[in-house]
Structure 1
């Protein structure tokens, strides 16, 4: 529906699906405030802390990889219900875990839900949105992610303030860090309820042979005449070529993925390899290490997250007007410069037994650079990659290709999170210099390989020209 209206049902459906993004952000960032408490309360070392943090990402990779098949076989809504149920269950189980390995297991299962949500939200939103508004609506996913991160960090800060510390007891005799996990039950339940009430994707209904159901859903979503809805259904059917979605559509030959799939994988992986997770998963511990008090470190993390939210709002107004490609290029330049400044700032710091001590004004410069990096990411690679994952692939491969790209994103996130503690101990400046190299590589990839997809109906997406640089798909 290239010129469909922005109806209340489209908005409500977008918001409902994007609640999965909120849980994506909340569930993955909530551990930020518990990192140091875990060491004291559960007696875990740095290596196991890294596993606990990364276990959610490993689960997300598994969930993302399986999401495409589930979405095509059972529907987008049912996939959301499964993800939401995992969120509710594991939020409680993480809050009552009494040893590191058990907590890692529950975070892994919660991560499976996160991975599923990371695939189905952009997929579903792209499939219900009018083409001319698809980019703006799809940013709801990233907005929800950053709001989830912000909510987790603010919730953590308030809980620490109320209890007097992350390890101090709060209500029901539970320490504040356990409440950090338990709070997630509330948005998790809201996501399950939303999934039950949402209309199914009309493109999924066409794939399942339900032409009448797809036409009814299109009429409800876009308030168009029956003739227009039936024409849209026929257009969708034309892209299926009497075939069904299958993994084979991702390959151009035995063991050879199509260029469009490789492009999606590379974009998704680079989104994580620039090191954004380090800012949100380890920032509280990092700022404490460089001399800020516990509560100051919590609020600095929340401030950085608020900057992330504000920058994402800007992206909402730019993504359809400026285009995906141009935003990514500008963001890559900004991230590269900011990360290089952070690497330089940490190189000027002095290592002591208690952590890192900045000299002169380098502490302020590094803090500012961290927030510039967040802004550059939030107006570009943060929302745009998830938009592309939902829209850049043809109908026959969209769900499975999106799940493969999302799995690559989570796998890259695992690599970053597992290696950062060791890289930090080896060379903190070197770790940020490495992320700067990946940011520079992201610029080259977009410049050489990414076509523009803004304002094009999903049925026009083709894989044949995907390697053609800036040409349209």
Structure 2
């Protein structure tokens, strides 16, 4: 792979790092700002899920601006929003302004979740595309681990520790913004705008083979077809199949309960009897597991295929979630079984669903609806995440100690298991195929 291909991919992937950091930093901060603002269960759920409302809005609305102004330009806007959110949440004096700035951060996360994988998929040669798009997921889990580690380091910094946790995100946000001035524009977007010479230059910069003319021709052909079919609807044939698959990819990725694990792990461990310091320490272990198995998936995603990873991952996660639910039902929360089971769960998630979901969302849609398709797939992801993140503290507060957690994880286990059958029946393989080949074979 050429140096500029690696550079452009890594810069775009910082959007994933900020995505992970922004969504996970609240885990360690939660016990402290909850006490500071004196929040009840409903307001706790709203304070956490408000960012996810922003994610929903950002994901569903970024498609058209991304087509109009370009992926790179909109990523710059997302970087600015990340920076505003980091400073605003850390300096908030009352809960309403805190929620507003969390919402702004959510807008940035939603935009990055669509644009970063899309940008990488549009600069990547087919042979490397899976590994390069998964760099976004790798950066995401690095961001989660970094957030957990920063939370752990800042626990004992006084009454404003939670403020420091949120403000710390300003550093990678500013770095992201500055580095985006060093990357090229998406060649597919340039061709769409009629700038063929610049598109050819970008392709030559990032493609390991001298195939720029063939690539330009393929892109022009698909864009010409797009103009003929510009009135096509997402929910009408022949696009309906792709749209439903994309929506279900987003749905099942969150029905695994991963948001609950990474947002509320500290509270779950505290409910199991661990101290706050110890509970936050356990999240670092989960973050390291997440990173390790994402690296493993990165090695195999272009060898064994997306579907195979999903098959074993959904089965493994369903079993782990079921055991976790059983432990709370049986009152086994004082043992280390909870940590072991969650480590197993995170390992299966990171090496399957976590690694594959953004790769698939960037691949399964035809070119003429890709921007809108990725946006609606991300929208379904964030919609489910927002609902379950808001409801989790409410549900757990409705039942006696531990039972709410048990019922919640039993539900996630069943839904994850059902995902296995969906992927087996409806999902098509995209490994080692150009975006144009995927479209031709599955129309």
TM-score range, shorter chain: over 0.9
Pair 1:192 & 2:196 matched:
no
1:338 pairs, out of 303, 310, 320, with 320
Indicate how the Cα distance of structure 1 residues 54 and 235 shifts in structure 2: closer, same or farther if over 3 A, else same.
same
Computed over aligned residues only, the root mean square deviation of the Cα atoms, in angstroms, reads 1.7
Conserved in 1, the CA contact under 8 Å of 2:322 and 2:410?
yes
2:277 pairs, out of 295, 303, 311, with 295
Indicate how the Cα distance of structure 1 residues 199 and 104 shifts in structure 2: closer, same or farther if over 3 A, else same.
same
Partner of 1:358: 333
Partner of 1:471: none
1:338 is paired with a residue whose SS is helix
1:402 pairs, out of 360, 367, 374, with 374
Pair 1:213 & 2:213 matched:
no
Q: TM-score, normalised by structure 2?
A: 0.95
Pair 1:237 & 2:220 matched:
yes
- State the distance in 2 between where 1:464 and 1:94 align: 47
Pair 1:24 & 2:19 matched:
yes
How far 1:422 sits from its partner (Å)?
2.1
Conserved in 2, the CA contact under 8 Å of 1:207 and 1:244?
no
Q: How does 1:3-14 map to 2 (within 5 A)?
A: 6-14=1-9
The answer to which structure has the higher helix fraction is 2
Conserved in 2, the CA contact under 8 Å of 1:391 and 1:458?
yes
- State the distance in 2 between where 1:99 and 1:83 align: 25
- State the distance in 2 between where 1:463 and 1:398 align: 14
- State the distance in 2 between where 1:144 and 1:452 align: 24
How far 1:464 sits from its partner (Å)?
7.4
Partner of 2:149: 154
- State the distance in 1 between where 2:330 and 2:182 align: 55
Q: TM-score, normalised by structure 1?
A: 0.90
Partner of 1:259: 241
1:251 is paired with a residue whose SS is coil
1:199 is paired with a residue whose SS is coil
Task: Give the gaps of 5 or more residues in structure 2.
Answer: none
- State the distance in 1 between where 2:199 and 2:280 align: 48
Indicate how the Cα distance of structure 1 residues 293 and 252 shifts in structure 2: closer, same or farther if over 3 A, else same.
closer
Task: Give the gaps of 5 or more residues in structure 1.
Answer: 1-5, 170-174, 350-356, 467-473
1:439 pairs, out of 409, 413, 416, with 416
Partner of 2:339: 367
Pair 1:124 & 2:96 matched:
no
Partner of 1:381: 353
Conserved in 1, the CA contact under 8 Å of 2:9 and 2:135?
yes
Partner of 1:469: none
- State the distance in 2 between where 1:88 and 1:386 align: 24
Indicate how the Cα distance of structure 1 residues 246 and 386 shifts in structure 2: closer, same or farther if over 3 A, else same.
farther
Question: What does the per-residue CA deviation read over 1:287-332, in whole Å, with 9 as the maximum and x for residues that have no partner?
Answer: 1121111111111011111110001010001100010000001100
- State the distance in 2 between where 1:247 and 1:237 align: 15
